[in-house]
Structure 1
Amino acid sequence: MPLALLEPMTVLPARLPKALHELSRSDHVAEVVVVSTCMRTEIYAVANRYHNAMNDIREFIGRWSGLPPEAWSDHAYSYHDDAAIRHLFRVAAGLDSAVLGEGEILRQVRTAWEAAHAEEVDGPILAHLFRLAAETGKRVRNETQIAQGTTSLSQAAVAMAAERLGSLAGRTTLLVGAGEMGEAMATALSAAPAAGPVLVANRTWDRATALASRCGGQAVQWGSLPEAFHAADVLLTSTGSPDVLIEADDIEAVLLARGGRPLLIVDIAVPRDVDPAVGSLPGVTVLDMDDLKRFAEDAMAGRRQEVPAAERIVAEEIERYMEVATQREMAPVVAVLHERAEAIRQSELARLESRLAGLDPRSRRAVETLTRGIVAKLLHEPTVNLKAAAGSPGGEQMARALRQLFDL
């Protein structure tokens, strides 16, 4: 989806509880998790009624983004059942990222589920699904080479800046934002060959100084950003701000003092931190998430050979999930069937208690064994067939028939 459309759909962490509860209030959504990153906003839901739930989710997206459906429907996608499971597992495995094998997305998937769990809007189905998705992502990274090299957006952002400038040697980098992505970019800068000084700016001074200390840089007061713009050769930014932080006027005011020195800005925040108009100023180049996607596409050819192995792991984990899920689906039906049969057996024994009262203990045990054996043999084939058909249309029909026939 183009960045201009993705921005208004982004669900920032501070607003995630509101989004989760708004979605969960739908009569047709039983469980929900929202995964919102700089590349995607995805809603995973357990639907009581599929089409009604889809309509509710589309209406939510329209309200949240303030955009009419015709503006974004061609760029949206929806999956259900097996396809939805496969998509989530591929996302967690880094197979659906701008940077193939990206590690950050696995943490983001876990965090999304933890947030839903904390707000009590998930449930047993999504909890099981997201736990196994995280296991799938971890297994892909452990058993393949897909995570070798530059596999994070933060690393890619630094690499893209270095490629655009030829090198970061002797270049002063201003890092705006000291959150997780900012820290990751600071780590990537520390590993860059002969990278120059690093300046760190953040609205919270303590976080700026802490990150500057960890990366060997220098903290900059938020109010001193104009001076930092003057000193910097590269500006890297990725904050969680819902609003633009750096306007064209902010940069234009220092251009003359820079004496024609070029300025490269890499803005990987979604929504963007930098007004796109900044890129039209003389001597200023602005790169954003769309540019990073193109850069990553060119850089990941070597890891593509690992994709078949990763896809095989995803397929295996989907099969494992389906086996467990279908067993859980049939287990209540089987359990209730056996409980009903046992209740009938006990009821009949109680009804005949006066006739059985004269039996000696050995004979009484024989009656117990006989009746239990009859019940077990009668239920054996239905139980085996139910479990074997679990997850299939035939299995659903059998389960419905059993519920109706035995009033379960």
Structure 2
Amino acid sequence: MALISVGLTHEGADLELLERMTVLEHDWAKVVRTLVSHRHISEALFISTCLRTEVVAVADRFHDALEEIVTTLALVSGVERTAFEEHLSVHFDRGVATYLFDVAAGLKSVVPGEHEVLGQLRRALELAVDERTAGPQIQALVNHALSAGRRVRHETTIARGTTSFAHAAVEAALDHLGEEAGGEVLVVGAGQLGTGVVKNLLVHERFTRVVIANRTLARAETLRGEVADSRVEIVSLEEVEARAARARITLICAELAEPIVTVKGLSTTSGERLIVDLAVPRGAERGVELLPGVGRVDLQTMRERVDAVLDDRRAALDDARRIVSEEVDRYVDDQRARGASAVVSSLRGHFDDIVAAEMDRRTSELDRLDGPTREVVTSLVRGVVAKIAHRPTVVLKESAGSDQGVRLAEATRQLFDL
């Protein structure tokens, strides 16, 4: 059984396609259940965020599993496969580990080193475990990836400065304001991204009121309790359009089935307004930026902003890649060693089963022997089988962790039908 990952990311697809392919988090469970219902997929993890929609799976046949994954992505997104198939990023076996470790380290993020991706991976794993679609292989892979991601942030400077969409979004808002007072700011969403945005906003005294709108008011109240700032106000999603017309800046950080800020809702307002739309699908209707005085920053704009400052982090990126390479080697060696141990255990069990079956088959003949003679015969048979198994066992253990060990382990499985 081998690892395979298939996904669509900002590196290979434009924002419009990513938006169409996005699956809201409350539907992830259905996706992983669909994946493991296929014949060639035994484990599955799914993640769909603003800039990536991806599947990690354990499969017995690469091409058949790839077909099953692509079919599932088309089904759950409602997008014809011909529209996205050529944009897919596909990895196999060791390549899956390298890619996922890069993701966890923030090397595949628009904002290198950002922290949100660790939380996203953790939630995806927790859901897959709850749905019983993540077995030992995926759990080992993702947990090691999370560990590698934490090590990268601890040992390099990749996470200094602008370290998240939340931070970058607030910087974009500040740049837009210039020397003006901040006034009232509306934040739509109180999840991980929205929480980061609110906390970054409250660092600045120029924002006199930070209004949080969330689907679940209790979650927004929890956030207000965390920040303990009198400038925070809580409203429902139904009040967003009216409050967006008042707010100097609106930041949309929630998963929404349809745009919550519309051209009609802003058309009667006056003065400068900025919409920072971090939602996928889009949280602000197309065309709002064409209204007089309304500016718009979206994920594409954010990507361009970050690209402009990446040169400051080249050394940190190189250090992060070195750490990821070390961690991938460690993960692969560990998995190979575990695989060899499992094969040795299975081989011994296989031989023990053969001995037991033959002894049972010959019970009537063995019953004719006296006790001491029967013990000698049994010991002789077990000793011969142990001698036969000794050399394969030693070679498998000695080659564990090497390419030769992988080949020998697979050959042993095939030869003895383990």
- Given that 1:333 and 1:399 are in contact with CA atoms closer than 8 Å, whether structure 2 keeps it comes out as yes
Match of 2:151 in 1: 139
C-alpha contact (below 8 Å) 1:174/1:228 kept by paired residues: yes
Change over 3 Å in CA distance of 1:221–1:122 after alignment to 2:
closer
Report the counterpart of residue 335 of structure 2 in structure 1: 325
Q: Find the partner of 1:119 among 107, 114, 131.
A: 131
**1:388 CA displacement:** 4.4
Structure 1: distance between partners of 2:113 and 2:153: 7
Change (3 A) 1:321 1:299: same
2:175 pairs with one of 153, 157, 163: 163
Contact in 2 for aligned 1:174/1:236 (Cα 8 Å)? yes
60-69 vs 244-253, which deviates more? Answer: 60-69
Partner Cα separation in structure 2 for residue 170 and residue 332 of structure 1: 62
Distance of 2:151 and 2:305 partners within structure 1: 27
Task: Check 1:401–1:99 CA distance in 2 against 1; reply closer, same or farther (3 A cut).
Answer: closer
Paired residue for 2:397? Answer: 387
CA change 1:63–1:139 in 2 (3 A) is same
1:6-405 equivalences under 5 Å are 6-167=18-179, 169-192=181-204, 194-212=206-224, 214=227, 215=229, 216-253=231-268, 255=269, 258=270, 261-341=271-351, 357=372, 379-390=389-400, 394-395=404-405, 398-399=408-409, 401-403=411-413
Q: What is the DSSP-based 3-state SS (H/G/I as helix, E as strand, rest coil) of the residue aligned with 1:33?
A: strand
**1:341 CA drift (Å):** 4.9
Cα RMSD of the aligned pairs, angstroms, is 3.1
Gaps of 5+ in 1: none
Write 1 or 2 for the structure with the bigger share of strand: 2
Residue 281 of structure 1 deviates from its aligned partner by 1.1
**In 1: Cα distance, 2:183 partner to 2:395 partner:** 69
Counterpart code for 1:177? G
Q: Deviation of residue 273 (structure 1)?
A: 0.8
Q: CA deviation at 1:336?
A: 3.1
Q: Between 17-26 and 218-227, report the one with greater CA deviation.
A: 218-227
Paired residues of 1:168 and 1:193 also in contact (CA < 8 A): no
> Which whole-Å CA distance do the structure 2 matches of 1:391 and 1:10 have between them?
38
In structure 2, the CA distance between the partners of 1:387 and 1:202, relative to structure 1 (3 Å rule), is same
Listed as ranges, the gaps of 5+ residues in structure 2 are: 1-12
Q: Deviations over 1:22-57 (max 9, x none)?
A: 222111111100121111011001112111111111
C-alpha spacing 1:48/1:165, structure 2 compared with 1 (3 Å): same
Counterpart code for 1:158: V
**What letter corresponds to residue 202 of structure 1 in structure 2?**
N
Q: CA deviation at 1:88?
A: 0.4
The whole-number CA distance in structure 1 between the counterparts of 2:219 and 2:355 is 69
User: Which stretch of structure 1 is more off in the superposition, 263-272 or 320-329?
Assistant: 320-329
What is the distance in 2 between the residues matched to 1:74 and 1:382? 45
How many pairs does the alignment contain? 397
The separation in 2 between residues aligned to 1:315 and 1:404, in whole angstroms, is 31
Q: Which amino acid aligns with 2:157?
A: Q
C-alpha contact (below 8 Å) 1:200/1:211 kept by paired residues: no
Tell me, yes or no, if the aligned pair for 2:188 and 2:252 is still in contact at 8 Å: yes
Q: What is the DSSP-based 3-state SS (H/G/I as helix, E as strand, rest coil) of the residue aligned with 1:141?
A: helix
Secondary structure of 1:197 counterpart: strand
